[in-house]
Structure 1
Amino acid sequence: MKDKMLQELDPLELRCLSLAARGRTREDITRETDISHDRIDEAFASAMRKLQAGNVAEAVFRAARMKLIS
Structure 2
Amino acid sequence: MKDELRPELDALELRCLSLAARARTREDITREADIARDRIDDAFATATKKLQAGNVAEAIFRAVRMKLIS
TM-score, with structure 2 as normaliser: 0.92
Among all aligned residue pairs of Structure 1 and Structure 2, give the percentage whose two residues are the same amino acid. Answer: 78
Provide the aligned length of Structure 1 versus Structure 2.
67
Give the distance between the partners of 1:10 and 1:68, measured in 2 at CA.
11
Report runs of 4+ in structure 1 exceeding 4 Å deviation.
Answer: none
Alpha-carbon RMSD across the aligned residues, in angstroms, is 0.9
Residue 67 of structure 1 corresponds to 67
Give the distance between the partners of 2:66 and 2:9, measured in 1 at CA.
12
Give the distance between the partners of 2:37 and 2:54, measured in 1 at CA.
20
Name the SS for the 2:42 alignment partner.
Answer: helix
Deviations 1:8-60 (A, max 9, x none): 10000000000000000100000000000000000000000000001100000
TM-score, with structure 1 as normaliser: 0.92
Name structure 2 gaps, 5 residues minimum.
Answer: none
Structure with greater helix percent: 1
